[in-house]
Amino acid sequence: MHPNQSEFFHSINQFTRHFSKVLNESLVPLGLYAAQWTIIYRLKIGGPSTQKEISSYLGVEAPTMTRTLARLEKSGWITRTAGKDKREKLISLTDAAIREYDNWLASVRLSESNVLQNITEEEISTMIRLMAKMRENMVPGT
């Protein structure tokens, strides 16, 4: 066991919660929550996906994903269409979401920039590598 192991993971958890709050403060006035943003971002970058693919990518349980997708659909940000497998719907961004995307992205980037004040590129690169190694330990192949 590493001497600072408990503090390390407590810090990650605490940061994640605080950052979600910061994102919500910037996104809610634009009609979106941080949890929804992660799905919107994934669909914009990765293209149409199944619920299972999104859940797996984000590490979110199926019931939570179902509720979040239902809210996104009700808000008019996503649509579901039949995929190759008729039982599994393909989730895509709507034209309305694509039109709003740049506004959401600008708000997220501003929040990120505020959080990254006084952080060097080297520190960011180190953290990206560290997180990738830990993710690989949890979910091999990611």
* pTM for this model (two decimals): 0.86
The secondary structure element, H or E, covering residue 77 is none
Contact 114, 106 (CB under 8 A): no
- DSSP H helices, the chain, are 5-27, 34-46, 51-58, 62-75, 95-115, 121-138
pLDDT (tens digit, 9 = 90+) per residue, 38-58? 999 999 999 999 999 999 989
Assess whether pLDDT exceeds 90 at residue 118. Answer: yes
For position 3, what pLDDT does the model report? Answer: 81
Three-class secondary structure of residue 52 per DSSP: helix
Q: What percent of the chain has pLDDT over 70?
A: 99
CA distances from 118 to 21, 59, 109, 124 (A): 21, 30, 16, 11
Looking at residue 30, the DSSP 8-state letter turns out to be G
What's 25-137's CATH class? mainly alpha
